[in-house]
Amino acid sequence: MSHVLVASQVLLAVIFVVSAFSKLRSRTALRSFAATLGMLPGPARLPAAAATAAAEVAAAATMMVFPPIGLAVSGMLLIAFSLWIAVSLRGGRREPCQCFGASATPLGPVHLIRNGLLLLVVALGWATLMFPGDPVTVAGLALAVPVGLAAAALLIIFDDIADLFMEISGSS
């Protein structure tokens, strides 16, 4: 196991824990997320929202216990989320992205970019499993864990960061 794998595990686990918590923290939050699943028929939205949150919890839990399964589940979820976003955009649907809680930000290319970055982290994790480096050291953990946490925090607020740059460039 390498320090890069540890950072990847922390990053992906935090992303999925925060995302699941934002949906499961209350009935209102889950219903609010379900309402954004406009491509589904009304009766299917709430079960789909609950299943999404459950899959995110599973991805986070397996990421820390058995990284190969966690990386596989994370990759599949991110591909599914990206396909959902792409189909929504192609169909002209721009429901607010509630990936990390209540938001008025409509789905857009920035969400595909964020998911692409997360898929790169999954690929990096797989690469470290296939080509393990030196054993993990305490000093390496002291660096890998904060790096994973910081990167997760940046990706969680990625929409806001992108909005900031769009405002600066005048393309809002």
Residue % of the chain over a pLDDT of 90: 68
For residue 8, the enclosing domain spans 3-169
**pLDDT tens per residue, range 28-56:** 999 999 998 888 999 999 999 999 999 99
Count how many domains the chain has.
Answer: 1
* 3-state class percentages of the chain: helix first, strand second, coil last, to nearest 5: 75, 0, 20
CA distances 37 to 31, 147, 157, Å, are 10, 33, 21
Confidence of residue 170 (pLDDT cuts 50, 70, 90): low
pTM for the structure as a whole: 0.90
Mean pLDDT to the nearest integer, 102-109: 78
Instruction: Please report, to the nearest 10 degrees, the dihedral formed by the alpha carbons of residues 142, 148, 154, 158 taken in order.
Output: 180
**pLDDT tens per residue, range 4-20:** 999 999 999 999 999 99
41's enclosing H/E stretch is none
Dist CA 77 CA 99 (whole Å): 12
Find tokens 């999954």 and name the residue. 122
What is the Rg, in whole angstroms, of the alpha carbon atoms belonging to the chain?
17
pLDDT tops 80 at residue 171? no
CA distances 4 to 1, 14, 145, Å, are 8, 15, 10
